[in-house]
Amino acid sequence: MHYETLTFDITDNVAVVSLNRPEVMNALNTQMRAEITDAVTQGGREARVVVLTATGRAFCSGQDLGDRANVANIDLERTLRDEYVPMLRAIFDCPVPTICAVNGAAAGAGANLALAADVVIATESAFFLQAFTRIGLIPDAGGTWTLPRQMGLAKAMGAALFADKISARQADDWGMIWEAIEDDAFDAHWRARAAHLANGPTAAYARVKTAIRASFDNDLEAQLAVEARLQGECGKTRDFKEGVVAFLEKRPAKYEGR
């Protein structure tokens, strides 16, 4: 697929999907949503980690509201169902780890797009904004699911109702994201994090994602059963055998991702 709203590159098993509409702060339109869906899906098939980031001073300002005539006639339910859901499912269901490297403002659906990733790393100058109630809407793009799980009910409710800016440092402190990094170290840092995952036990990472997400719907006994089943699968991988041998030989493991 030829991309017009983003750039896509795979190098050393790291797929980087970079939103590229900086003139509108990488606002999401129909084409961009379709291209994100395709690029993340391709990255999940061909790489061992997928990174979502952006060009310009913002990560993503949310839904593109630039066309007033289009906005006035927009069917929000259809748009969410037919365009946002496939994009978010591509990220949630990605078989390899996903990182969102938030390089600037992440507002509205842009904030929740970022939070859909497994790991969120933000530059300290970035912020997150659940802007929806400012225009008479509720958080969407998965926000009502991710926010209470990542930052707790009280913080999630306040963020949604008041629509206040949440700095990257606050988001880090509240458990909303993995880490906030000084601006001048940000690019090198997320690339090093991505490289670490790209060289790790990919099959185990996939099962980490499955197990942790299952825990929200399981009681203890059910979750212990999930752990046993997935650990049994991990124990049959080449990476497990390599990890044990490397440990015994006191050397770094050389994982193949299988």
- pLDDT surpasses 60 at 69: no
Q: What is the pTM of this model?
A: 0.93
φ, ψ of residue 18 in degrees (nearest 5): -115, 115
pLDDT in tens, 134-148: 999 999 999 999 999
Q: What local confidence, expressed as pLDDT, does residue 74 receive?
A: 79
pLDDT in tens, 157-194: 999 999 999 999 999 999 999 999 999 999 999 999 99
Q: What local confidence, expressed as pLDDT, does residue 65 receive?
A: 83
pLDDT in tens, 37-65: 999 999 999 999 999 999 999 999 999 98
Q: What local confidence, expressed as pLDDT, does residue 166 receive?
A: 97
Q: Residue 72's pLDDT band (boundaries 50, 70, 90)?
A: low
Residues 163/135, Cβ–Cβ less than 8 Å: no
Cα(5)–Cα(173) distance, integer angstroms: 33
Ordered by start, the domain boundaries in the chain are 6-198, 202-248
Q: What local confidence, expressed as pLDDT, does residue 257 receive?
A: 87
Average pLDDT for 219-240: 96
Mean pLDDT computed over every residue of the chain: 95
In this structure, how many other beta carbons lie within 10 angstroms of the beta carbon of residue 173?
Answer: 13
Q: Residue 66's pLDDT band (boundaries 50, 70, 90)?
A: confident
Residues 15/62, Cβ–Cβ less than 8 Å: no
Amino acid symbol at 130: Q
Q: What local confidence, expressed as pLDDT, does residue 70 receive?
A: 60
SS (H, E, C) the chain: CCCCCEEEEEECCEEEEEECCHHHCCCECHHHHHHHHHHHHHHHHHCCEEEEEECCCEEECCECCCCHHHHHCCCHHHHHHHHHHHHHHHHHCCCCCEEEEECCEEECHHHHHHHCCCEEEEECCCEEECHHHHHCCCCCCCHHHHHHHHHCHHHHHHHHHHCCEEEHHHHHHHCCCCEEECHHHHHHHHHHHHHHHHCCCHHHHHHHHHHHHHCCCCCHHHHHHHHHHHHHHHCCCHHHHHHHHHHHCCCCCCCCCC
For residue 166, the cross-strand partners are: 128
CATH topology of domain 202-248: Lyase 2-enoyl-coa Hydratase; Chain  A, domain 2 (1.10.12)
Strand 49-54 with 98-102, pairing: parallel
Say if 6-198 and 202-248 have the same CATH topology.
no
| CATH class of the domain defined by 6-198 | alpha beta
For residue 127, the cross-strand partners are: 167
